[in-house]
Amino acid sequence: MFNSLSDRLSATFKNLRGKGRLSEADIDGTAREIRRALLDADVAVPVVREFIAKVKARALGAEVAQALNPGQQVVKIVNEELVGILGGQTRELALAKQPPTVIMLAGLQGAGKTTLAGKLAHHLKSQGHTPMLVACDLQRPNAVKQLQIGGQRAGVPVFAPHPGVSSETESATGDPVKVATDGLAEARNKLHDVLIIDTAGRLGVDEELMRQAADIKSAVGAHETLFVIDSMIGQDAVTTAQAFNEGVDFTGVVLTKLDGDARGGAALSVASVTGKPVMYASTGEGLKDFEVFHPDRMARRILD
Ligand code: GDP
């Protein structure tokens, strides 16, 4: 039994050791295995197609490095392409020259934005920053309260619309753009160097939601807009990512729920259709279930 793509590709080529260059027939044999592995990892179908075409073009006629057999040569090409699409290097936040750096979170409801806000605040605090959270999700009942709990756990203050008022009342009366700009003013006053803004999500992509997120983004001049996406989203990753890319022109991607069964194909789908780097991964409900995203590790996860 060959379980990993690397093993399967090596098997495809097992009789071809010593061959100088890869031929079209060799590559067609491997393309099927690559397609299967990517679909198994839940990479979106059009992304798989484009990826295979790219790998084929690069592999055709490629000289097999002396230390490798042809299978290993194809694996090397696949790996390099995967890492490249996923952003190449790890990318940390671009901090504003003039603090506070404003980070806005956007994504569908249930993607894990509010949970992530607390984790990101915790992560930045552990690096010596003095973050503040702003609760602009005034749609989902309890989102404000949930952010306040996350902030408390992280030891980070939360700016919310009407302190002490129940979330039901807030959702009826709050203006998220005003909350965001008031939060920014408060962060300047209190000398917080990073502001993290949680925004509302809907179950599906929705024009009003997108307009609201875009309005918040321009009102506060966000330096980073992070698109938060559930890694279990599967084939819907492409349309959702495209809608948010057009709607809020995000600067980076955060993949959540990587502790589940998902093999991370959504990372490849989103990065491939938007060209934006994946920056962080969320791997559980706890404050510390959070990682800086490493493209090379994800490539391995998809290949294995
Ligand atoms: P939001 O609507 O985007 O703000 O989503 P939430 O932050 O409320 O998250 C939705 C649900 O997913 C909650 O039950 C979270 O506890 C859960 N959740 C968020 N991130 C993760 C994660 O990385 N792993 C797991 N297993 N659950 C998560």
Question: Confidence band (pLDDT; 50, 70, 90) for 18?
Answer: low
Q: Is 265 annotated as a binding residue?
A: no
Going by CA atoms, what residue is nearest to atom 12 of ligand 1? 112
Q: Annotated binding residue at 276? A: no
Task: Give the C-alpha separation, 165 to 150, whole Å.
Answer: 18
Confidence of residue 170 (pLDDT cuts 50, 70, 90): very low
The span from the CA of 279 to the CA of 252, in Å, is 6
Residue 15 has pLDDT above 70, yes or no: no
190 or 204, greater pLDDT? 190
Asked if pLDDT for residue 295 goes beyond 90, the answer is yes
The number of the ligand 1 atom at minimal distance from the alpha carbon of 258 is 23
Q: Mean per-residue pLDDT for 27-34?
A: 84
CA–CA gap between residue 271 and residue 238 (Å, rounded): 9
**Would you state the pLDDT for residue 19?**
58
Whether the pLDDT of residue 46 is over 70: the answer is yes
The whole-number pLDDT of residue 25 equals 77
Q: Which residues form ligand 1's pocket by a CB distance below 6 Å?
A: 107, 109-115, 140, 201, 256-257, 259-260, 282-285, 289
155 is in an annotated binding site: no
pLDDT in tens, 212-268: 999 999 999 999 999 999 999 988 999 999 999 999 999 999 999 999 877 788 999
Closest to 117 measured CA to CA, from 149, 164, 161, 141: 149
How far does residue 94's CA lie from ligand 1's centre (Å)? 25
Residue 58 has pLDDT above 70, yes or no: yes
pLDDT of 125 > 80? The answer is yes
Task: Judge whether 229 and 255 are in contact, CB under 8 Å.
Answer: yes
What average pLDDT does the segment 44-58 reach?
93
Least confident of 23-37, 79-93, 94-108, 241-255: 23-37
Residue 253, Cβ density class (10 Å: 0-12 exposed, 13-18 middle, ≥19 buried):
buried
Mean pLDDT score, 134-153: 93
